[in-house]
Amino acid sequence: MGEASKSIGEEAEGKIWNLLDSLGYKIENTNIAKYDIDCIADPPPKNPMYGVAKPLYAPDGLTAFEVKVPVASPKRVRDFRKKILKYNREHVGRKVKGVFISDSKISSKMLKSMRKLQIWGWGLQRQALYRRKAEIFGFFRNKAFITEIPIDASCSYLRCATPPPTKSKTLLHIAVFFDDEFHTLSPIRVRKVMEKIKETSIIPLMTHGIKPINAFFEFYSIGGLSKHLREEIYKTVIEPWRAERISVFVDKNPFKDFRAFPIL
């Protein structure tokens, strides 16, 4: 039984290290026995010129990661906090903050209590969101110029630019990530974010004479989806933009939610 548990733990850790690598983290060390810390890594920049940005729900600077197959519990989080405090006492000027990674959903109440201890929680939904971001980046990596642009504390987007010559019908592929477990994604929120993307990534191209603009949009949320999102966005954004020579293309279901089947 002990060997089986150890094997499961190693497999889980391996998947997480691969995820961190795909998110741009630079892993310094794993399985630090002295402090019983699973991993210490440096995050990518907040505003990169190219590539993915630091996950929105993660600390700045050097980060300690705890990977647990069981659910997140107050005791496990407190134990992780003690490990971080011990490490920081012995590394003056090189302090770390923590990310607790669990293979189950972390409740809103638990997330709030964790943040009071300066611990960020990545449950299955958030891991799925970040994994999807890494997948999109990997898919476009050799096909387009990609930059992740933060909009606010809980939303960012990957801007995948495919300038001519290209076989793609769209100049821009925009993947928007709503990293907020506490609020359902509403049409108003989506509209404001799309207007911001228009301001920062579409209007500058049109100012330089690139018209019309064809852009593909897809949206990912971990906080749930309001009803009639697609219909409302068509009415309030996509149709008005068409008059400005901005064509927005979306899938049949452009809004994805990880709450029901986060592993998928």
Of residues 99, 106, 110, 152, the one with CA closest to residue 125: 106
All residues at 6 or more sequence positions from 63 whose CB lies less than 8 Å from its CB, including other chains: 25, 40, 41, 42, 43, 96, 97, 98, 99
Of residues 226, 234, 225, the one with CA closest to residue 252: 234
Residues in the chain: 264
For 211, the 3-state DSSP assignment is coil
Produce one character per residue of 123-159: b if its CB has 16 or more CB atoms within 10 Å, e if not.
bbbbbbbbbbbbebbeebeeebebbbbbbeebbbbbb
Of residues 129, 70, 57, the one with CA closest to residue 97: 57
Beta strand 37-42 with 63-68 is: antiparallel
CA angle, 175 then 256 then 222, to 5°: 95
d(CA 177, CA 130): 9
Q: What is the per-residue pLDDT for 7? A: 43
Which listed CATH number (1.20.1250, 3.40.50, 3.40.1350, 1.10.3470) goes with 2-122? Answer: 3.40.1350
Q: How large is the angle between the packed helices 74-89 and 108-116, nearest 10 degrees?
A: 20
Per-residue pLDDT of the chain (264 residues; tens, 9 = 90+): 334 444 446 777 889 999 999 999 999 999 999 999 999 999 999 999 999 999 999 999 999 999 987 778 999 999 999 999 999 999 988 999 999 999 889 999 999 999 999 999 999 999 999 999 999 999 999 889 999 999 999 999 999 998 766 667 889 999 999 999 999 999 999 999 999 999 999 999 999 999 899 999 999 999 999 999 999 999 999 999 999 999 999 999 999 998 654 443
Taking CB atoms within 8 Å and a gap of at least 24, the contacts of 80-88 are 80/119, 81/117, 81/118, 81/119, 83/35, 83/36, 83/37, 84/37, 86/35, 87/35, 87/37
Q: What is the per-residue pLDDT for 258? A: 82
CA distances to 64, 206, 212, 215 from 245, rounded to whole Å, are 47, 9, 5, 11
d(CA 122, CA 128): 10
Q: What is the per-residue pLDDT for 92? A: 87
Domain ranges of the chain: 2-122, 131-257
Q: What is the per-residue pLDDT for 168? A: 72
Q: What is the per-residue pLDDT for 11? A: 75
Beta strand 213-221 with 246-249 is: parallel
Q: Tell me which amino acid residue 140 is.
A: F
d(CA 176, CA 197): 10
Q: What is the pTM of this model?
A: 0.92
187 alpha carbon, distance to own chain's centre: 20
Beta strand 63-68 with 26-32 is: unpaired
